[in-house]
Each structure stands twice: as C-alpha cells, then as structure tokens.
Amino acid sequence: MFKTVIRRAGKCAAVAAAGLMMMSAQAAEPIKIGSFLSVTGPASFLGDPELKTLEMYVEKINEEGGVLGRQLELIHYDDVGNASSARNFASRLIRSDRVDIIVGGSTTGATMAAVPLIEQAQVPFISLAGAVVITNPVKKWVFKTPQTDRMAAERILSDMKDRGITKFGLISGTGGFGSSGRTQTLEVAEQMGMEVVADVTYSGSDTDMTAQLTNIRNTSGVEAVLNFGFGQGPAIVTRNYAQLGMELPFYQSHGVASDSFLELAGSSAEGLRLPASPLLVPDSLPNDDPQKEVVQNYKAEYEARWDSKVSTFGAYAYDGLMLAVRAMEEAGSTDPEAVRNALENIQGYVGVTGVFNMSPEDHNGLDPDSFRILEVQNGEWKLID
C-alpha cells in the first residue's frame, strides 16, 4: 500500500512538473503584434512613419522588459495601399501567424477590407485609418486611433462659423477617405445651418484641378473653400488654388497634417487652415496641457531615431501600440476577449493624438476638441485654436 502511494505521488509530481514546464515555455513565447500597412505605394506617407513608429517602440518596450514578462514580436506586411492585399495579409496574420492583436490598416479601404475577417476570427484590431465608418456603427473587435472624418468636418466648420462664414465650396477626392469626408461634411453642414454652394470632386489620377476650382470660384455666394482628401491630390489643389489667385479662406482636412505636405505645396499653402493633433506644434502647447510631455517625447524620439520629421500618421501607430499594451496589461493576459474588454474600457489614456476615453458605444474614444486648428504662416504650422 505504501509503495503504491509513493508511485502515485511520484507520477503526480511528474505531471505537475511537466505542466509547470509547459506554462513556463508558454510564458516565454513572445506576444505577437500583427500589422498590415501601406509602407510603399501611393499611401506610403501614411504607412512608412507608422511602421517606423511600431518598430522603434516595440524595440523600446522589449528593452524595458516587455509586456506581462514576455517580449513583443512585430509581424508586418506591406499592402501597398491595396485593399485586396490588405485582406489577404489580415488573413495570414490571423490564420498562419496567429497574432494576439492587430495594429494597422493605414487607409480606410485597407481597414474595411480586413474587418469582416477580423470580426469573424475575433481578434482585437486597432485601425490607424480615419473614416467614421470604421467604428460607426460599433464593431465588437474593431477600434481606431485617428479622429474621425466627421470630427474633422465639425472642427473645420466650427472654425468657419467663428469667422462668420456660412457658405462654402467643397472639393474632395473620390477615394475612400475623400468620399467619406465629403459625406460627413455635407451632413455636418446641414446640421450646423451652413450651405455647401459648390460640390466638386477629383480622382486619384488627376494631375490638375484647375477646372474644379474654377467651378467653385464662379459659384455665387462662396465664402470659403474646403478640400477633403489625402495623398498628392490636396497639394495639387493647393497649388492650383494659388495659381488661380483665389483669396477666399482655404481649408484642408487632417489627411494632410504633416510637414511633408508643406514641402509639396510650397508657398501656395500660406494662410490655409486645417485640424490636426498638437504634434505639429508641440512647443506651442501651454505647460499645463496634459498632452505636451507625451507629444514632445514622441517627436524627439522619432526624429532622433530616423533623422526625419515626425508626422501625425506615425502618432496614430504610437497610440495604437500603447493602447494595445495597456489593454493587455489591464487584462493580465493576451486572451482575445479579455484584451478586447480592456480596450473597450480604457479611460483617460493620454496619447499623442488626444486623450482617449473608450466605451461600449465608442471604439475611438476621442472628440472633436482633440483637434487643434493650425494655420500655415511663413511656411510653418502655427497654433490658432
């Protein structure tokens, strides 16, 4: 009897030891952060700083001990701005790479192409794209870090009203971002009692928008002009606007909030306004602004590492990664449901883009006031409001 007990105890001890070894090995496995970004192609001005940001902060987090005692592993693919490629890479991240969370989707088109797969697989996803459709209506597994195009429209039109402007001309790109921005602008204008008296568009392949701008200029009652788009298009619109000698107040969307846009548009950008995060004017923030230190640190670290100017697009990736890390830490695991629940309940996270307050009804967590109104003065961004 005694020997039998000993054998059983020994067997139990062996099983327990094996279990501990398995748990230890599992704990040592890296946490996989998946990403698909437009690193090359027409939207590379988005994806390139996003990838650089993810790479440098994954490295930094790992040097500081990782998350939950585990290292982070970044697995990323370049979708070159193609929605079909984005969908295929999202599938690979889920089924082959078996990532724990996805932080990516440079464009609205790429993001929305991947959403059905991600929702079906039940993997937490933090998008870096702007359109309101990404999180409205709320999708259980989908979150985003940029302000929505609707918020941008609200902020721009509020600034117009402050300047006594009630009628304006709208020119927008026909891609996903520009099209959604146009829809939101039309809706917000109606709600605010403003009138869009001219409404024209351009395609991504257009190299001159003089005809569309001439249409706006010849429309009676136009008091200002708003261009909603991203990529090369807005810079062309800006140059054409100056060439036509149009002197009405001119606005761009947050889709071009970067120093690279100023380089493309040159002196033609003088006087235009747009909504943006405070990243472009960190030193203009008052000392008691909760974002000032975060914004200044990100700018300094990015520019020191890559020897290139920071952009608001890279900041979307910074906030996405930090929100993911915070959610995993609060969940105490990488369990998808636990991480998703933690993401949905994050309150008061001070990021570069804004202060995030998530909820079951809001998977973006920002409001229009997270945008600051900037104006180009002497070739530089200046904080107006």
Instruction: Tell me the C-alpha distance between 202 and 233, whole Å.
Output: 8
CATH architecture, domain 29-146+289-368: 3-Layer(aba) Sandwich (3.40)
Surface-to-core class of residue 348, CB atoms within 10 Å of its CB (0-12 exposed, 13-18 middle, 19+ buried): exposed
CATH value of 148-275 in 3.40.50.2300, 3.60.9.10, 3.80.10.10, 3.40.720.10: 3.40.50.2300
**Looking at residue 2, what is its pLDDT?**
33
Report the pLDDT value the prediction gives residue 231, as an integer from 0 to 100: 86
Q: What is the pLDDT of residue 176?
A: 84
Task: Compute the distance between CA of residue 349 and CA of residue 355 in angstroms, rounded to an integer.
Answer: 5
The first and second tokens of residue 145, run together, are: 């870090």
Determine contact, residues 375/382, Cβ cutoff 8 Å. Answer: yes
CA-closest candidate to residue 86, choices 58, 133, 118:
118
At 288, give phi and psi (nearest 5°): -90, 5
Q: What is the pLDDT of residue 305?
A: 97
Pairing of strands 355-357, 347-350: antiparallel
Q: Which amino acid is at 184?
A: Q
Which tokens belong to 191? 């709600």
Q: What is the pLDDT of residue 385?
A: 82
Length of the chain equals 385
Alpha helices in the chain (DSSP H): 2-28, 44-63, 83-95, 108-121, 149-162, 176-191, 210-217, 232-243, 259-265, 292-306, 312-331, 336-344
Q: By the 8 A CB rule, do 355 and 349 touch? A: yes
Q: Which contacts (CB < 8 Å, 24+ apart) does range 280-284 have?
A: 280/312, 280/374, 280/381, 281/372, 281/374, 281/381, 281/382, 281/383, 284/382, 284/383
For the chain, give every domain's residue range.
29-146+289-368, 148-275
Q: Is 98 helix (H, G, I), strand (E, B) or coil?
A: coil
What stretches in the chain show pLDDT beneath 50? 1-25
pLDDT value, residue 17 = 47
Question: How high is the pLDDT of residue 357?
Answer: 98
d(CA 364, CA 126): 9
The residues near 312 (Cβ < 8 Å, ≥ 6 apart) are: 254, 257, 258, 276, 277, 279, 280, 353
Please, is 16 exposed, middle or buried when counting C-beta atoms within 10 Å of its C-beta (0-12, 13-18, 19+)?
exposed
